[in-house]
Chain A
Amino acid sequence: MTHIKSLEQLTSKRDELKSNLSRLDDPNNSEKKVQIKVAMATCGIASGARTTMDFLTAELSKRNIPSVVTQTGCMGYCYAEPTIEVKLPGKEAVIFGYVDTKRADEIIEKYIKTGELTEGVIPRNYDTID
């Protein structure tokens, strides 16, 4: 169990966690993984995001693609739920909309395996703070 006792500890923990993440994202690292986030707010779940997430988790391991599939909150594209974000190691994250299991299968076969974009890409329409 982590118990953080000072701001310094918090910052070093953050940096440690960050470097773990960047290892996943480094295309030259053996630990690299495809990172997928599924928008799982109430609205996403209602549109079938849980089915999509279960499908992605099961299929990616079945097809031997090193990956982490996590849930996340609302991405704001309510009109295109379920939405997922796919980040290939070393590449910009791409957001896909209307991802039912059929499209999820397409995304694995095309975008994740070959890097070729499929239907349903949603351009990121906002700036955020960093």
Chain B
Amino acid sequence: METPVNKPKQLRIALRNCGMLDPENIAESIVRDAYQALGKVLKEYSPQECINILKQSGLRGRGGAGFPTGLKWEIASKSKSDQKYVVCNADEGDPGAFMDRSILEGDPHSVLEAMAICGYCIGADKGLIYIRAEYPLAIKRLKIAISQAMEWGLLGKNILGSGFNFEIKLCYGAGAFVCGEETALIHSMEGKRGEPTNKPPFPATSGFMKKPTNVNNVETFANIAPIILKGPEWFSSIGTKNSKGTKVFALAGKINHVGLIEVPMGTSLREIIYEIGGGIKENKKFKAVQTGGPSGGCLTEKHLDTPIDYENLIAAGSMMGSGGMIVMDENDCMVSVAKFYLDFIVGESCGKCTPCRVGNKRLYEILERITQGKGVMKDLDKLKNLSYIIKDTALCGLGQTSPNPVFSTLENFYDEYYEHVVEKKCRAGHCKNLFHYVINEELCVGCAACKRCCPVHAITGEKRKPHYIDSNICIRCNECIEKCSFDAISIQLEPKILV
């Protein structure tokens, strides 16, 4: 039986209540100090005082870009208007990320409370949560939470006798990745096409319905109440010089303990993967970790001891992103990883600007060629040049960051690209055109187990005689290797000259 030994590496601030209370029963949240921070702010602080607390705390946006939250609120509070809005961005679209969903499903009141605090600080009485329709349970629990908070008088008119009014409504997104970008998100809420526009004007001056709007991510909001209750000094004592507090990561991929974790900023990748994550599956060799989703990049072995914060990740060629961490082992092909993300981007590009719409498609085609063994050296230069052009000319954050997986894999895994192009070899055994299966005639007993399981009838041979795989028909599904009891089938990395 396992017992805890060292001091835990994790510190849960945003996740403080996740898994501790019943999200559909407000009483349990009240027991764990929900709405205490709102009460304190309404009673003791002026809006500016509250904003100052946030500025002192050093909290930065957890959606990925890391803009200081206090400053964001201050800009919105200084915009003059009869109507302002608070928007919670719950359009979590990175592949492999589930931080926001977990917070909304586990502790919806922490987000509602913080939105009300934000409303008080910037002078808004309406809040909107933009949530993707693919999160039905989170939507259900938010609805219950909002109606219970209204019933208890913690949202609605004259909250806690302060004269402050605040109501929250839900807006559903149809699951477009680009709608996580704040201007596209606002358009989508207004019922327009989810396309981004140039900034400025920033939403803080002209956002939803052309009114000043403050957009924050779910996790950012979840950090607000503890900062108010425990003070900005407490919060800024955690983390690194320029990145304060903690960050939630969704650990996924080839790791033993897939899960949701929250660690202080400055924790190293090694601690996350080997201590919290329990190491790589089946004791394979660590190759890379992908952070920041399609806009991020890969961190490799040489980054294992880098303390993770906003600046260090950028310096390492990746980014914080919303917190997805996909761990890859020696069996993952980095060219295919880049191709996977480009495929995602091609599908999610809104099509408004040419660099993103056409450029990414071309990048994808080049990568496709390389993984099929049809690449030439010139392609590698093309990849790089085109990536720079897209980065410099695309309209919004999605397009500008879309070549990042290419940059990062070219930078860290150039030799793998080289192998694909020159040697026509995929060392991970992942690219289907670059390897084939062979049956060892001495080991094969002719039991026909492989022949029976082959879905495309690529295997021939008489009973009790060695069998043969026709590489031209084989689809590389790996079924035969798994079925063979005699280890007679193996992968050969050199591509077979197809006839």
> Are A123's CB and B4's CB within 8 A?
yes
Tell whether A85 pairs with B19 under 8 Å between CB atoms, given A74-B106, A123-B2, A125-B10: yes
Is A73 part of the binding interface, using a Cβ–Cβ cutoff of 8 Å?
yes
Cβ proximity bits B20-38 to A, threshold 8 Å, 1 near / 0 not:
1111110110110101100
Report the separation of the CA atoms of residues A45 and B102 in the bound assembly, to the nearest whole angstrom.
13
**B82 contacts the other chain (CB 8 A):** no
Tell whether A71 is near chain B: CB-to-CB under 8 Å. Answer: yes
Contact assessment for A78 and B35 in the assembled complex, using a CB-CB cutoff below 8 Å:
no
Cβ-defined partner of A7 (8 Å) among B23, B30, B43, B152: B43
Interface string of B128-149 (1 = CB under 8 A from A): 0000000101100000000000
CA of A17 to CA of B24, assembled, Å: 16
Q: Is B200 an interface residue (CB 8 A)?
A: no
Establish whether residues B31 and A2, one from each chain, have CB atoms under 8 Å apart when the complex forms: no
Interface locus among A8-16, A58-66, A100-108: A8-16
Residues in B with CB closer than 8 Å to A126 are: 8-12, 261-262
B residues 97-155 in Cβ contact with A at 8 Å: 98, 101-103, 105-107, 135, 137-138, 151-154
Whether A70 contacts B1 by the Cβ 8 Å rule is: no
Complex Cα gap A18–B32 (Å): 9
CB distance from A52 to the nearest CB of B (A): 15
Output the nearest chain B residue to A85 by Cβ-Cβ distance: B19
- Give every chain B residue within 8 A of A1 (Cβ-Cβ): 151
Tell whether B80 is near chain A: CB-to-CB under 8 Å. no
- B197: min CB distance to chain A, Å: 33
The residue from A41, A72, A77 contacting B257, defined by CB atoms under 8 A apart: A77
Question: Please, which residues of chain A bring their CB within 8 A of the CB of B22?
Answer: 37, 70-72
B452 within 8 A of A: no
Considering the complex, which residues of chain A in the window 14-55 have a beta carbon less than 8 Å from any beta carbon of chain B? Answer: 14, 17-18, 21, 37, 39, 41-43, 45
| A76 and chain B: residue at smallest CB distance | B260
- B271 CB to nearest chain A CB (Å): 12
Neighbouring B residues of A129 by C-beta, 8 Å = 11-13, 16, 226, 230
* Closest partner residue, chain A, to B11 (CB atom): A127
Of the residues B7, B39, B105, B151, contact of A41 by C-beta under 8 Å: B105
Query: CB distance A73 to B18 under 8 Å?
Result: yes
A114 within 8 A of B: no
Closest residue of chain B to A124 (Cβ to Cβ) is B4
The answer to whether B1 and A79 have CB atoms under 8 Å apart is no
Query: Closest chain A residue to B248 by CB distance?
Result: A76
Taking CB atoms, residues of chain B closer than 8 Å to A71 are 22-24
Q: Which chain B residues lie closer than 8 Å to A3 at the CB level? A: 151-153
Which residues of chain A are within 8 angstroms of B138 by Cβ–Cβ distance? 42
Question: A126-B12, A127-B11 are contacts. A72–B27 as well, Cβ < 8 Å?
Answer: no
Task: Indicate if B383 sits at the interface (CB-CB under 8 A).
Answer: no
Which residue on B lies nearest to A125, using beta carbons? B8
Given A5-B153, A73-B23, verify A42-B36 contact (CB < 8 Å).
Answer: no
CB-nearest residue of chain A to B25: A70
* Given A14-B31, A126-B8: A37 and B19 interface contact (C-beta under 8 Å): yes
CA distance in complex: A75, B18 (Å):
6
Which residues of B pack against A, CB within 8 Å? Answer: 1-4, 7-13, 15-25, 27-28, 30-31, 33, 35-36, 39-40, 42-43, 98, 101-103, 105-107, 135, 137-138, 151-154, 160-161, 226, 230, 256-262, 276
Q: A4-B152, A76-B102 are in contact. List 20 more A-B contacts (CB 8 A).
A: A2-B151, A2-B152, A6-B161, A10-B154, A14-B30, A17-B27, A17-B31, A37-B20, A74-B105, A76-B18, A77-B257, A79-B256, A79-B259, A119-B1, A125-B8, A126-B8, A126-B11, A128-B16, A129-B11, A129-B13
Return 27 A-B CB contacts under 8 Å, by A number.
A3-B151, A4-B152, A5-B160, A10-B35, A11-B39, A37-B19, A37-B22, A41-B101, A42-B137, A70-B25, A71-B22, A72-B22, A72-B23, A73-B105, A74-B106, A75-B18, A76-B15, A76-B102, A78-B258, A79-B256, A79-B258, A79-B259, A125-B10, A126-B11, A126-B12, A127-B10, A128-B11
